[in-house]
Amino acid sequence: MAVLGSLKTFQGGHYFGLFEGTPRGRRLSNAPLPKRVTIFLRQGFSAEVAPLVQVGDRVKTGQVIGVNEPNPQRPSTPVHATISGRVTVIEKQPHPLDGQPTLAVTIESDGKDEWQFLQRPAPNYERLSAEELGKILYDAGVTSGGQAGFPTAFATAYGLPERMRYLLINAIETEPYFEATDQLLYEEFDKFINGIKILRQALGNVQVHIGLGYNKPRIYEELITRLEYYDWCTVHQLLPKYPQGEDAVLTRTLIDLLVPKGGYVTDIQCVVQDVQHCVAAYEAVVEGKPFVERVISVAGSAVKEPKNLRVRIGTPIAELLDNNICSKAARIVLGSVLHGRDQQNLDLPALKDTPAVVALKEAEAELMPVAGPGFDRDSFTGAYVSLPWLKIKRANTSLNGNERACVRCGYCLDVCPQNLFPAMLGEYCANHLVSDALNIDLMACIECGLCAYVCPSKIPLLEQIREGKRHALEEVST
């Protein structure tokens, strides 16, 4: 019998308003087949893999175009072509996530979309062993979601020698604009449930904890009905507070385990998967489809019509935003607007772990923007009047003035989900006092970006802390 979890949450965090241009409740639609895709041979956390194809080769959708020997030290997955066509370019390009030059394969579509499925799809997955399932997941290139993008196969019996203890399902989306995964949960519920079963089996029959937003009572009841007779499953209802979906926060909230400083959830024998990757696991094992397509929200204040799309991985941002963007200058952010990167080059593609492409209107000069009740403003403070029936908020991209000296208001401490002292961390990091910063738990920061979001002095705390972490890692390695 599934254990009924109670309403859980964590200290700190912030409930974001519903920003204008959020595709809430829009049904998933298939994006038109891209004319050209650029596929990076490094996805998320994984190591870069060696290309298997050459310029001029014809490839099919789902064909492996890059692979490394499986190696738990440097985990990687095979990389698949996501459309059928001809390879035109293989060269190093700046990776959209960190700007590092990374080998990328560009494929021109032939418009036919011929598929090459996995060799051993297994509709009766219950009969397969953990190793076999792990192999299929590896071949399909399923990675875990979130920032880490850790290849799932390496958490399974196929990859790591040590056993995992928990599988956590992140079915709560708390970031602004990320609506596609929620929509996937509604539309592909069966695949989601079976995906969880597959992943659990591949991890060696571990305990499963599902974190679900409490604002989805229908899904909750459905989950309880379907999973009622399994003693390995607990469904928790969580308050939809950002950053509930971050690995460290989810682990703490659901099973009360602390992720080590500077470590990953796999260090405490946990695997975190989100809805998209559960569905991908199902499609890989049962339908034999490699992970070449994911759901992406096209959202933001500069988008004419916000959408939730099924998109081939590697589709250039420009094609996703095609004709759907206001003519005004916009800032394009791949992934999270809180800790993602803005993209100048719109030829760069969406990746395996990109839940959204957000286009934000650039702020323009306003007369006395801080005066007035501010019904449409999102704020951690109560300094603006919010009315319950006016839910749509304006995304504020302006800094409300220059960066000021810290006035020590303490908001960053109040929102920090990791219970850190961001103002002091930022100050230390900006002054290169790395050892002092490490003393107050610099490495425990999960870079959710909330401290910089709420700062009334508009201090770039997130950037300062990231810089400090980079320095700290360099010092360790030298």
402-461 residues near other proteins, rule: CB under 8 A: 402, 404-411, 413-414, 417-421, 423-424, 440-441, 443-444, 449, 452-458, 460
| Shortest Å distance, C-beta 63 to other proteins | 33
C-beta of residue 94 within 8 angstroms of C-beta of residue 59? no
Binding map of other proteins across residues 131-160, x = CB under 8 A, - = no contact: ------------------------------
HSE, side-chain direction, 13 A CA sphere, residue 365: 1
| Shortest Å distance, C-beta 263 to other proteins | 6
Q: Which residue's CB is nearer to other proteins, number 101 or number 410?
A: 410
| Shortest Å distance, C-beta 460 to other proteins | 5
CB-CB neighbours of 288 under 10 Å:
20
Applying CB under 8 A, does 333 fall inside the site for other proteins?
A: yes
Q: Which residue's CB is nearer to other proteins, number 370 or number 392?
A: 370
C-beta of residue 357 within 8 angstroms of C-beta of residue 323? no
User: Which of 59, 223, 351, 395 contacts other proteins by CB under 8 A?
Assistant: 395
Positions 360 through 379 that interact with other proteins (CB under 8 A): 360, 362-371, 374, 377-379
Strand order from edge to edge, sheet including 85-94? 36-40, 101-109, 85-94, 58-59
Applying CB under 8 A, does 339 fall inside the site for other proteins?
A: yes
* Alpha helix positions (H), 28-175: 130-140
Q: Which residue's CB is nearer to other proteins, number 121 or number 456?
A: 456
Q: Which residue's CB is nearer to other proteins, number 19 or number 220?
A: 19
Q: Which residue's CB is nearer to other proteins, number 119 or number 367?
A: 367
Residues near 380 by beta carbon (within 8 Å), at least 6 away in sequence: 14, 411, 414, 415, 453, 454
Is residue 243 reached through a cis peptide bond, with omega within 30 degrees of 0 on the bond before it? yes
In total, the chain counts a number of residues equal to: 478
* Token pair for 106: 């560009």
Applying CB under 8 A, does 341 fall inside the site for other proteins?
A: yes
| Shortest Å distance, C-beta 86 to other proteins | 37
Give the gyration radius of the chain's Cα atoms. 22
Q: Which residue's CB is nearer to other proteins, number 175 or number 274?
A: 175
Residues near 417 by beta carbon (within 8 Å), at least 6 away in sequence: 10, 11, 12, 13, 243, 246, 248, 249, 446, 448, 450
Q: Which residue's CB is nearer to other proteins, number 227 or number 265?
A: 265
User: Which of 91, 215, 399, 435 contacts other proteins by CB under 8 A?
Assistant: 399
| Shortest Å distance, C-beta 371 to other proteins | 8
| Amino acid identity for residue 101 in this structure | P
Residues near 337 by beta carbon (within 8 Å), at least 6 away in sequence: 175, 176, 177, 358, 360, 395
Applying CB under 8 A, does 168 fall inside the site for other proteins?
A: no
Comparing CA positions, the residue from 115, 148, 155 lying closest to residue 133 is 155
Considering only the stretches 45-53, 98-106, 135-143, 340-348, report the one whose residues sit in contact with other proteins under the rule CB under 8 A. 340-348
Applying CB under 8 A, does 328 fall inside the site for other proteins?
A: no
Applying CB under 8 A, does 392 fall inside the site for other proteins?
A: no
| Amino acid identity for residue 449 in this structure | G
Positions 2 through 41 that interact with other proteins (CB under 8 A): 11, 19
User: Which of 37, 142, 227, 337 contacts other proteins by CB under 8 A?
Assistant: 337
Q: Which residue's CB is nearer to other proteins, number 195 or number 340?
A: 340
Applying CB under 8 A, does 382 fall inside the site for other proteins?
A: yes
Element (H, E) at 120: none
Q: Which residue's CB is nearer to other proteins, number 284 or number 358?
A: 358
| Shortest Å distance, C-beta 100 to other proteins | 17
Considering only the stretches 105-113, 139-147, 222-230, 381-389, report the one whose residues sit in contact with other proteins under the rule CB under 8 A. 381-389
| Shortest Å distance, C-beta 231 to other proteins | 28
Q: Which residue has the tokens 């490495």?
A: 443
Positions 231 through 290 that interact with other proteins (CB under 8 A): 248, 252, 257-263, 267-268
Q: Which residue's CB is nearer to other proteins, number 111 or number 401?
A: 401
Q: Which residue's CB is nearer to other proteins, number 290 or number 417?
A: 417
* Alpha-carbon span 472 to 476, nearest angstrom: 6
| Shortest Å distance, C-beta 374 to other proteins | 6
| Shortest Å distance, C-beta 67 to other proteins | 23
Q: Which residue's CB is nearer to other proteins, number 170 or number 301?
A: 301
Residues near 214 by beta carbon (within 8 Å), at least 6 away in sequence: 7, 220, 237, 238, 239, 240
Comparing CA positions, the residue from 12, 34, 291 lying closest to residue 144 is 291
Q: Please calculate the CA angle 126-313-360 and round it to the nearest 5 degrees.
A: 125
C-beta of residue 5 within 8 angstroms of C-beta of residue 236? yes
C-beta of residue 195 within 8 angstroms of C-beta of residue 282? yes
C-beta of residue 220 within 8 angstroms of C-beta of residue 237? yes
Positions 93 through 132 that interact with other proteins (CB under 8 A): none
